[in-house]
Chain A
Amino acid sequence: MSAGLEVVRAGALTTVQDEGRTGWAHLGVPRAGALDGPARRLVNRLAGNTPDAAVLETTLTGCAVRVTGDRPVLAVVGGAGCRVTVDGRPVAWGAPVRVPPGAVLEAGPAVHGLRGYLAFAGGLVPEPVLGSRSADLLSGLGPPVLREGDALPLGPGHGAPAVDAVPWPGVPAELVLPLHPGPRDGWFTEAALCTLTTAVYRVSERSNRIGLRTEGPALERARDGELPSEGMVLGAVQVPPEGLPLVFLNDHPTTGGYPVVGVVPEAALAGAAQAVPGTPVRFVRA
């Protein structure tokens, strides 16, 4: 009894993601992994998987996959809210759905939020690279971005899930990001630091898995010059020369040369994963 997936509609950007690859940043390897960690864990839990199983992460437009093989597959669509169908018939969002062999599971375009997560019992099992099955779009490690016709293997299922419903957090109308100042807040003027934590920024449409870019008032530097390359953490708020804060997400480079004015704790980044362009962003002192 085997099962797999065939990609019928790849969507705008759909990738395989798990917890990501840690422990390799010193070699220049980004962490990668699902941008909305809590959503990834929830869909896995509902599919009867361990939290670290690999899932699909969609972007705005969802995706559709056909179940191949000779057994039905339990699937869960969560994260961004969307219409879910099996062979065109509406089924539950955010809850386990049985997909028969040959049937097409479709996650429609997001109606709220941005990134959808599709878990399948047994998890996606493409070949791991450095301990992770995550696609890393900065350095190209891991499985490639999904394309129509791709085949994806599934692991053996573990039996029935322990839960069939979980509370899903809503997507807030405003993204509030707690900010720990440093390490390079000293590179900015007092006025800039005040602006950063009082002004309203908006999510830029140039945002991606590398970083959440913002639009709003530029931050003025207190000193000129270049910062020698230094290690960057997930959630670092880097300020490039044009002065607009950029929040590093999972595919961020491991070292960088623009000053980091502050850091958003990892736990607050799930909201950044779901914020569509135009969403107001406020940085508040943690």
Chain B
Amino acid sequence: MSGPRVLPAGPRALLVELASGEEAEAFHAELLRRRAAGELPAVREVVPGARTVLLDGVEDPGLAGRLRAWTVPPLRRGDGEAVEIPVVYDGPDLADVAEAWGVAVGEVPRLHARTEFRVAFCGFAPGFGYLTGLPGHLNVPRRATPRTRVPAGALALAGPYTGVYPRPSPGGWQLIGRMPEPEALWDTGREPAALFGPGTRVRFVEAGVRG
């Protein structure tokens, strides 16, 4: 395997680009492991993206060259405790998702809830995680027309990702359900503030009957 591309993002940041989302998650996990072990020079921020990891506040000019030479073990998705999120599968786009998946509406919750998710990266709003884990054939497009308001707690799908809106906002993802207590997603009085930090394992558990 060839090493990652390391692109400059200004005088003090490096954007490490991987060939796939899976490799980016593995590279991010390795970065955190090395940082915890004291093997990474000081950086201010480590921000994973869909296929990249940004290192911001880099003071060591030799770091780019060393990152290219890293050997990164493949991601072990099953590591660590999973956070269990009670959800109700009653979203307005359930039928559209069922059609895209080629299954009956009642099958969508079963297929979704049995998936082992992992937070690949965050963004959009504090507390919003982009969760991977759905197999490629269950990816769905964004809605053609975004909604002007998606309620807090909405459980949504777009592309390879699953997400839960931590607060009301506009959004173009397909809504398949809701988390009844979305306040838990983001709490600045808690350490860590985000329930879904990069690398967190997540399982959705059906909390009630479908309405």
Contact = CB atoms under 8 A, between A and B. Distances in A.
Same complex for A and B? Answer yes
Contacts of A183: 7-9, 15, 17
B56 to A, nearest CB: 5
Interface stretch (A20-28, A87-95, A109-117, A271-279): A20-28
Nearest to A22: B44
A256 B123 CA distance: 8
A180 B7 CA distance: 12
A249 interface: no
B193 A229 contact: no
Contacts of A182: 7-9, 15
Contacts of B130: 229
Contact of A254 (B15, B47, B127): B47
A218 B41 CA distance: 39
A28 B198 contact: no
Contact of B122 (A27, A235, A265, A266): A27
A233 interface: yes
Interface residues of B, number: 38
B188 A236 contact: no
Interface in A213-238: 228-233, 235-236
Interface string A99-115: 00000000000000000
Given A180-B8, A183-B7, A254-B122, A130 B188 contact: yes
A157 B110 CA distance: 61
A139 B125 contact: yes
A141 interface: yes
Most central of B13, B17, B46 by chain A CB within 10 Å: B13
B123 A236 contact: no
A129 interface: yes
Interface string A258-286: 00101111100000000000000000001
B50 interface: yes
A96 interface: no
B57 to A, nearest CB: 8
A192 interface: no
Most central of A28, A182, A264 by chain B CB within 10 Å: A28
Contacts of B128: 28
A236 B9 contact: yes
A26 B48 contact: yes
Contacts of B15: 182-183, 230-231
A286 B188 contact: no
B5 to A, nearest CB: 9
A230 B50 contact: yes
B126 A27 contact: yes
A180 B187 CA distance: 37
Given A228-B50, A231-B48, A255 B126 contact: no
Nearest to B199: A26
B11 A229 contact: no
Nearest to B46: A26
B51 interface: yes
A220 to B, nearest CB: 21
B10 interface: yes
B126 A231 contact: no
Most central of B50, B122, B128 by chain A CB within 10 Å: B122
Nearest to B44: A22
Contact of A255 (B7, B13, B123): B123
Contacts of A26: 45-48, 121-122, 197-198
B51 to A, nearest CB: 5
Contacts of B9: 182-183, 231, 233, 236, 260, 263
Contacts of B54: 230-233
Contacts of B7: 182-184
Interface string B39-81: 0000011111111111011000000000000000000000000
Most central of A182, A184, A231 by chain B CB within 10 Å: A231
7 contacts: A26-B45, A27-B122, A28-B125, A229-B130, A231-B54, A233-B13, A286-B11
Interface of A: 22-29, 129-130, 139, 141, 180-184, 228-233, 235-236, 253-256, 260, 262-266, 286
4 A-B pairs with least C-beta separation: A231-B54, A263-B10, A255-B123, A228-B50
Given A28-B127, A263-B9, A266-B12, 8 more contacts: A23-B45, A27-B197, A139-B125, A230-B50, A230-B51, A254-B47, A264-B10, A286-B11
